Structure 1
Amino acid sequence: MTQPDLEILRVAVREQIEKEGLRPFSERTGVPLGRVRGFLDGRDSPFSSIRQLAEAVGIDWYIGATGLFGERIKIAREEAGLSVAALSRRTGNITASAISQLESGQSKGAKPDNLVALSKALGVEVVWLATGEGPMKKGPRSVDQLNETAHFMKEAGAEDENTEPVDVRRPGRVPLLSWVQAGEWTSVESAFEAHQSDEWVLCPVPHSEKTFVLRVRGASMEPEYHDGDWIFIDPEGASENGSHVVVMLDTGKEATFKKLVVEGDEKFLEALNPDWPDRVIRINGNASILGVVVFSGKPR
């Protein structure tokens, strides 16, 4: 674990112990006294104890920090009683070496397909595995939980001149934008003003801080995407032949969603719907790619 994350947790644990005492805290959390003391002294602690401590003080969100993605894999693997090799066999397509690199932090994230494969093999929620948020274990409504939404207030006490907007930028959450807003998504500074979006959505896959969400409109990308689906767009994703991208045409007033086709030096946008009129558009020099789809799903 990275030191800053542990320091956040240590401060919170110390404050809680000051309120209720060391022994009562140990008994309530189920973490032995020796392990609590060791953690506060900076000694290595089992992942399970660290998670218990984080949950006990109400900051289990810290497990969702980017640098801890591999540790969530290790926590889930150890709780499932699996070796790295056994987990590799369960996934069917992820090597033991790749899993070891993820757990050690050498690899910082997994592709969406691999993330889903890992969550299934470990029996955990894909949202928890990707971000640390939500329940760890799979439940009967796990499909719905993939796209759990969160509504936050934009401002607190708007009539009080001493108040400031509430920061809605929770770990793992990205703003839901209109197609017009997406076309104006020109910088991190402008993008992350809280007033830009009334709704922030949990993104269940690794993504950059510039990622945003759009609602699919129309039938141009059927049968893979349907009207009303959510698409998570990462401006830092690699746009290559076959990528599904959101693009701003120089002549347009809002963004459009299509498949990118690259043939030599030529670039085209293609609608997936074979019956769509004007299915292919040439875009060389007259369009800007705003980002690549990294995940899609249906809101509940």
Structure 2
Amino acid sequence: MASAADPGDSAASEFQAVGGRLERGLIWVFIVVPTLALLPAMYFAWGGWIGWHDLLLLVVFYVITTTGIGTGYHRCFTHGSFKSKRGLKIALAIAGSLALEGPVIRWVADHRKHHKFSDREGDPHSPWRYGTTAWAVTKGFVFAHAGWVLWGVDRAEPRHYAPDLLRDRDMAAISRHFRSLAAVSLLAPALIGGLLDRSWHGAATGFFWGTLVRVALMHHVTFSINSICHVTGKKPFEARDRSGNVWWLAILSQGESWHNLHHADPTCARHGVLKGQIDINAWIIRRSEQLGWAYDVKWPDQDRLGKKRTATA
């Protein structure tokens, strides 16, 4: 007789192969190839090889995937900042998968391990991994930004860090189908661009801007939360690590770069809690709550925040 844990066991087995040659090769392709596209992107944009279809695809797919990572993978699935109805849960998990940052269960497990050991031994991606000298921090910055993903060092064990998601049939199924969703993410902009422009040229530019440039921008904004936001930034709240707020990443990250508050109060659904701090993901959660799609939202508690303010804030 099949047990309720069968989907989780299958998903866990799937993740044991993440370190295989195919998976490792795909990770390198998803990160390196789009990054290499950023340099010609500036040349092509200057030369006019971009139309409104391309900009639309870039913005729409960027917002979908950034929401999937920030609102879904991060605030909902990793930290339980809110609970979601099944439809929203599935939509956020699929949107996060389209960001090509890995299956939802793998991502959540790694991030939970990061919080458990933040900026200490055991942290999968601390920029302070090698020490505090200039060279050590430089090497650590590169490692925290992308090296930890490329080389697969200190990855978390999903059975230990994400057993709740392994038991969730929806999350297990979406994680198992990550490769198929990755193919959709890579090819959909080209297909839509070709249909909108009714040409192979439209498909080519749609792929370039909607896939390559979008993925590169999305990845490096996300990676910057691990690297930049743990090296610099203001620290208005007491946290047990070096997390800081980096204002100029706020819009592109949809509020994830208000990182100091997040590490001071990880389950809080809003990261930008101070005046003038734009938090798009918190706005999305608020709208979802009003529509009845999200509930049990952990909004900021002013008394709790007051106790966490630093003396210099």
Instruction: Give the alignment's TM-score, normalised by structure 2.
Output: 0.27
Looking at both structures, which has the greater relative contact order when contacts are Cα pairs under 8 Å and sequence separation is at least 6? 2
Structure with more of its chain in strand, by fraction: 1
Higher Rg of the two aligned structures = 1
Structure with more of its chain in helix, by fraction: 2
